[in-house]
Amino acid sequence: MGTTALRDGDEYVLDGEKYWTSNGVSADWIVVYARTGEGAGHDNYSLFVVPTDDPGYDPEEITGKMGLRASQQARVELDGVRVPADNRLGEEGSGFYNLARFFNYGRIAVAGHGIGIAAAALEEAWAYTHDRELYDESVADNQTVQHRLVKMREQFEAARALAWTACERVMDGDDPAFWASLAKARTTRTAETIAREAAQLHGGEGLRTETRANRAFRDAKYPSIYEGPNAVQRDIAYGHWPEE
């Protein structure tokens, strides 16, 4: 992690680059995770609230994304950006732990993102296969297609149930690291599977970027990556396995 924040009196001086910064071009403030100590330990990182009108703040929007185009991300260069020490969130060296707590709850929201994409893809698959006629009957009259739709619904309902369970368990005070990671891994994988199947059921129409099924197919990859890929989620879930 190359971005640094060096203490200079009552200020910190930030230097480095950040990628995939949400709203990095349009926001008035962003939160920056930066190294404030030496070594690889978790105690060497801190969080800072950074104004985007500083002369050393230089954002560039990331374009050409295959999906999630309604969300604006940016590459941000920080060149001698000065912020007051009061802009540090928490104690110096607490950044990793604060960020981990944020992710523990944020990943449940990512699970909801996966469920939303899966729901949209499933709706499109159902509508298209019932509206599309082939040889004087709808595509959905084919038993194989019916079975594929039912399998998609099975996967969707199982993933949604886990997402709700994760919400309930965290609200009841259970370890959010386990439940959020478990829900994110399952729901986002399900979103990819259902979106891919929905695009396939659309045939050639599924290749057109104008269709909602194609959009779901492209968007489905994102929640399985951001806030930690699913392999990392399984590592976290294993490490926080509840003793029941």
- CATH number of the domain residue 119 falls in: 1.20.140.10
Determine, yes or no, domain membership for 220.
yes
pLDDT of residue 97: 94
Number of domains into which the chain is organized? 2
Determine, yes or no, domain membership for 66.
yes
Which of 41, 59, 89 marks a domain boundary? Answer: 89
How far is Cα 33 from Cα 21, in angstroms, rounded to an integer?
A: 11
pLDDT of residue 134: 82
pLDDT tens per residue, range 130-139: 999 888 899 9
pLDDT of residue 67: 85
Q: Write out 12-37 in H/E/C secondary structure.
A: EEEEEEEEEEECCCCCCEEEEEEECC
Instruction: Evaluate if residue 244 carries a pLDDT over 80.
Output: no
Q: Which domain does 40 fall in, by range?
A: 4-89
Let me know whether 76 and 116 are in one domain: no
Let me know whether 37 and 109 are in one domain: no
Let me know whether 106 and 148 are in one domain: yes
Active site residue 61: no
Determine, yes or no, domain membership for 244.
no
Let me know whether 174 and 147 are in one domain: yes
pLDDT of residue 135: 85
Catalytic residue among 17, 61, 227, 244: 227
pLDDT tens per residue, range 198-225: 999 999 999 999 999 999 999 999 999 9
> In the structure, what pLDDT confidence band is assigned to residue 41 with cuts at 50, 70 and 90?
confident
Instruction: Evaluate if residue 188 carries a pLDDT over 90.
Output: yes
Let me know whether 48 and 153 are in one domain: no
Instruction: Evaluate if residue 230 carries a pLDDT over 80.
Output: yes
How far is Cα 121 from Cα 221, in angstroms, rounded to an integer?
A: 13
Q: Which DSSP string do the residues of the chain spell out, in sequence order?
A: ---EEEEETTEEEEEEEEEEEETTTT-SEEEEEEE-SSSSSGGGEEEEEEETTSTTEEEEE----SS-TTS-EEEEEEEEEEEEGGGEESSTT-HHHHHHHHHHHHHHHHHHHHHHHHHHHHHHHHHHHHH-EETTEEGGGSHHHHHHHHHHHHHHHHHHHHHHHHHHHHHTT--HHHHHHHHHHHHHHHHHHHHHHHHHHTGGGGG-TTSHHHHHHHHTTSTTTTTS-HHHHHHHHHHT----
Which of 64, 89, 114 marks a domain boundary? Answer: 89
pLDDT of residue 38: 87
Let me know whether 119 and 84 are in one domain: no
Let me know whether 175 and 202 are in one domain: yes
Instruction: Evaluate if residue 15 carries a pLDDT over 80.
Output: yes
Let me know whether 56 and 101 are in one domain: no
Among residues 181, 190, 170, the alpha carbon closest in space to that of 237 is found at: 181
Instruction: Evaluate if residue 40 carries a pLDDT over 80.
Output: no
Let me know whether 53 and 80 are in one domain: yes
pLDDT tens per residue, range 60-99: 999 998 888 888 899 999 999 999 999 999 999 999 999 9
Let me know whether 18 and 62 are in one domain: yes
pLDDT tens per residue, range 95-123: 999 999 999 889 999 999 999 999 999 99
